[in-house]
Amino acid sequence: MLSNRASLILTTAIAPALWGTTYLVTTELLPPQRPLLAAFIRALPAGLLLVALTRRLPQGIWWWRALVLGALNIGAFNALLFIGAYRLPGGVAATVGALQPLLVALLSTGLLGERLKLKTMLTAIAGVAGVSLLVLRADARLDAWGVVAALGGAVVMATGVVLSKRWTSPAPLLATTGWQLVAGGLLLLPVAWIVEGALPASFTFANLAGYTYLTIFGSAVAYALWFRGLRALSPTNVTFLGLLSPVVATTLGWLVADQRLTPLQLLGGLIVLAALITAQLKRKPAPELTPTAPIPVPVPEKV
C-alpha cells in the first residue's frame, strides 16, 4: 500500500503528464499559428468554472496576491513560453525550461529559508542533460530573443512556484486555483488580441474538442493537482516532476505521430526518470540513541 507522500507525488505528477499532451493536441486539433489564443482559452474559462463551483472570491490581501500569482504561474509564463516556442525549436525551448528545478531550489533558499543541497544541484543538472538528449537536435538554431523569452518563462514560473508555497491561501484549493487562472487569462487576453488579432470566424469540431480538453484537463484538473502538491510538498520536489512533460510529449510523438526514437533519446529519457526518482527520495533521519542508565557502583559499607 502506498504511503500518503507517495500517493501525493503520483497525483501531482499527473499535472505535468497532462501538460505533456498539449503539444499533440495543439498540432492535431487546434488552428495553426494561434498559440496565445490557446493559452487564453485554456486559462480563463477554466478559472471561471472553478470560481463558479467554489463560489468564493478573494478577500483582503488575496486580491493582489492572486493577481501576482496568476501573472507569474499563468499569464506571463504562457506568453513567454509561446514566444520562445515561436522563435526556437521545441527542443531548445524544452531544454531551457528544464532549468526550473534549479531555479526553484535557488529561490527557495532566499524566500523559504530552505538549504541548498549538493544532491539537488546535481540532480537538477542531470535533469537538464536528460531533457537535452531527449528533445534537442544537433541542427537546432539559437535565437537570442527566443532564448531570453524561454529563460524568462522559466524564471517567472519558478518565482510563482516558490511564492505559491510562501503564500498559503486560507481559501479552498479549487478557489485559489480558479483565481490564478482568471487573473492569468485576463492578462493574456490583450496580448493575444494584439499579437494574433481577433477570434477566428468559426471553429471546427476538432478545434472545439481540443480547446475543451485543454480547458478541463490541461488547466482545471492539472493546475488543481499541481497547486495541491505545492501545498504539501517541497516546491523543489514538485518542480522536478515538471520534467515529465517533455517525456510524455516525446512518448506520444512516438506512439501516435510515428516519430522514431534514437538511442540517445532513450538514454535521455532514462536520465530524466532517474533524476525524477532521485529528487523524490527522502533521506531517512538517523536513529536517535537512547541514553542508557548509568551502571550503579557498589559503595563499601562502613565497619
Domains of the chain: which residue ranges? Answer: 4-280
171 in Cβ contact with 56 (< 8 Å): yes
Say yes or no to pLDDT of 303 above 50: no
* Residue 16 near residue 127 (C-beta atoms within 8 A): no
pLDDT at 86 over 80: no
**pLDDT of 93 strictly over 80:** no
Say what percent of the chain tops pLDDT 70. 88
Residue 19, pLDDT above cutoff 90: no
Determine the average pLDDT of the residues in 295-302.
Answer: 54
pLDDT over 80 at 139, yes or no: no
pLDDT band at 298 (very low <50, low <70, confident <90, very high): low
The whole-number average pLDDT for the span 266-290 is 77
Instruction: Flag the least confident range among 71-85, 226-240, 246-260.
Output: 246-260
pTM of the entire predicted model = 0.85
C-alpha cell at 292: 542508557
Mean pLDDT (the chain) is: 85
Range in 48-57, 86-95, 148-157, 217-226 with the lowest mean pLDDT: 86-95
Give the total residue count for the chain.
303
Q: How far apart are CA 1 and CA 14, in angstroms?
A: 19
300 — pLDDT class (breaks 50, 70, 90): low
Asked if residue 44 has pLDDT above 90, the reply is yes
Confidence of residue 144 (pLDDT cuts 50, 70, 90): confident
Quick one: pLDDT at residue 288? 53
Q: Which pLDDT score, from 0 to 100, does residue 138 have?
A: 64
Rounded CA separation 303/130 (Å): 82
Query: Would you say residue 205 has pLDDT above 90?
Result: yes
pLDDT band at 33 (very low <50, low <70, confident <90, very high): confident
pLDDT of residue 292: 52
pLDDT at 182: 96
pLDDT attached to residue 38: 87
State how far the Cα of 236 lies from the Cα of 225, in Å rounded to an integer: 16
Residue 28 has pLDDT above 80, yes or no: yes
Q: Who has greater pLDDT, 33 or 176? A: 176
Q: How far apart are CA 91 and CA 81, in angstroms?
A: 13
Confidence category of residue 198, pLDDT binned at 50, 70, 90: confident
Q: Which of 96, 111, 127 is nearest to 162 (CA)?
A: 111
